[in-house]
A and B are shown apart, each in its own frame.
Chain A
Amino acid sequence: MSEEKLVGIVLVSHSAPVAAAVADLARGLAGRGTAVPVAPAGGTEGGGLGTSAELIAAAAAAVDRGAGVALLADLGSAVLTVKALLAEGDELPDGARLVDAPFVEGAVAAVVTAATGADLDAVEAAAAEAYGYRKA
């Protein structure tokens, strides 16, 4: 499998440890062989709970390989900040997209799918599909 043009994944959480741990979990379950660019963007720049537009923009730039970037977000301000950045037009890489998915399950699905070299549409569809898995 070629290394180029993998979809990048950004995990935006209110909490830096949550974002980092979910990124580790998703990478761990994606298996070896392909290094999917995954970056956490958790908490505020000062390390508090909340959302940082700067951290999100930096994470998106870091995972951009030219195949698009899927952003997953957890709560209120994380979702709203990603939407606001997308509306700005020039803050996130071309092809950046907020993916509507459950945070943990969606992240795993997105990273596993991206590891196959799938395109952004396929990554988004896999992440969104995680909503369909009922637990009770």
Chain B
Amino acid sequence: MLDADFFRRWMTATAASVAREAERLTALDSPIGDADHGSNLQRGFTAVAAVLDKEETETPGAVLVLAGRQLISTVGGASGPLYGTLLRRTGKALGDAAEVSEEQLTEALRTGVDAVMQLGGAAPGDKTMIDALVPAVAALPEGFAAAAAAAEQGAEATTPLQARKGRASYLGERSIGHQDPGATSSALLIAALAEAGGK
């Protein structure tokens, strides 16, 4: 079973990983985006780690709802409302249980990913974070490590795609050949899940 502490470790591990990879994320965002994905997400997850340190969160759902709220208010780019919605909806789906099973997390995360698809209007294959998150959720029943690997593969598989959402979509065919920064950061989020689980 996964308790609030596990979810705090997940968020802290994500913050550390995003800080480590911020330059790479921004480098990926330079040719097809506005070159701020790394710095935006780093600001957001640093704020998440800080608020989780300061405010008490007793349930897994409360951890994710608070983290999501913080991302929406601090990121400043589209990744804020998108990741914020992902975490908030996942947290709300977990309800107020003190501990949740991996199956419950999988179901909740699926709800969160659906909410992101609805908010951004993106589907798999549009070269967005969805391309890492959907395979991750599909692989979660096999464990966190499998989900992390699936997210990483999903992110890599965005390289030959043509962007259909966001600023990159204006570039048309010129968006082809670049790995999507949003899918890449989503892979970091899922890798941090595996890290929190110690697997």
Binding site for B on A (CB under 8 A): 44, 48-54, 76-77, 80-81, 83-85, 87-88
CB pair B80 A51 closer than 8 Å: yes
CB pair B73 A80 closer than 8 Å: no
Q: Does B31 sit at the interface, judged by CB under 8 A?
A: no
CB pair B80 A53 closer than 8 Å: yes
Q: Tell me, rounded to whole Å, the shortest Cβ–Cβ distance linking A106 to chain B.
A: 20
Q: CA–CA, A54 to B72, complex, Å?
A: 9
CB pair A52 B81 closer than 8 Å: no
CB pair A77 B76 closer than 8 Å: yes
Of all chain A residues, which has the CB nearest B76?
A50
Q: Tell me, rounded to whole Å, the shortest Cβ–Cβ distance linking A44 to chain B.
A: 4
CB pair B85 A87 closer than 8 Å: yes
Q: CA–CA, A103 to B61, complex, Å?
A: 37
The 7 closest A-B pairs by CB, nearest first: A84-B81, A50-B76, A77-B78, A80-B81, A53-B73, A44-B76, A76-B78
Of all chain B residues, which has the CB nearest A75?
B167
Most buried by A among B81, B85, B167: B81
Q: Tell me, rounded to whole Å, the shortest Cβ–Cβ distance linking B10 to chain A.
A: 21
Q: Tell me, rounded to whole Å, the shortest Cβ–Cβ distance linking A87 to chain B.
A: 7
In the complex with contacts A76-B166, A80-B119, A87-B85, A52-B76 CB distance below 8 A: yes
In the complex with contacts A50-B36, A87-B85, A88-B69, A80-B120 CB distance below 8 A: yes
By the criterion of a CB under 8 Å from any partner CB, how many residues of chain B are at the interface? 21
Q: Tell me, rounded to whole Å, the shortest Cβ–Cβ distance linking A94 to chain B.
A: 20
Contact for B72 among A44, A50, A76, A85, CB less than 8 A: A85
Contact for B84 among A49, A52, A54, A84, CB less than 8 A: A84
* Neighbouring B residues of A49 by C-beta, 8 Å: 34
Q: Tell me, rounded to whole Å, the shortest Cβ–Cβ distance linking B127 to chain A.
A: 14
Of all chain A residues, which has the CB nearest B82?
A80
Most buried by B among A44, A81, A84, A87: A84
Q: CA–CA, A130 to B119, complex, Å?
A: 24
Q: Does B77 sit at the interface, judged by CB under 8 A?
A: yes
* Neighbouring B residues of A77 by C-beta, 8 Å: 76-81
In the complex with contacts A51-B77, A76-B167, A81-B72 CB distance below 8 A: yes
Q: Tell me, rounded to whole Å, the shortest Cβ–Cβ distance linking A60 to chain B.
A: 14
Most buried by B among A49, A53, A85: A53
**Further contacts, 9 of them, CB under 8 A, given A77-B76, A80-B81:** A48-B76, A49-B34, A53-B72, A77-B78, A77-B81, A84-B80, A87-B85, A88-B69, A88-B88
Q: Tell me, rounded to whole Å, the shortest Cβ–Cβ distance linking A12 to chain B.
A: 12
Q: Tell me, rounded to whole Å, the shortest Cβ–Cβ distance linking B138 to chain A.
A: 25
Of all chain A residues, which has the CB nearest B74?
A53
* Neighbouring A residues of B72 by C-beta, 8 Å: 53, 81, 84-85, 88
Q: CA–CA, A44 to B119, complex, Å?
A: 21
* Neighbouring B residues of A48 by C-beta, 8 Å: 76
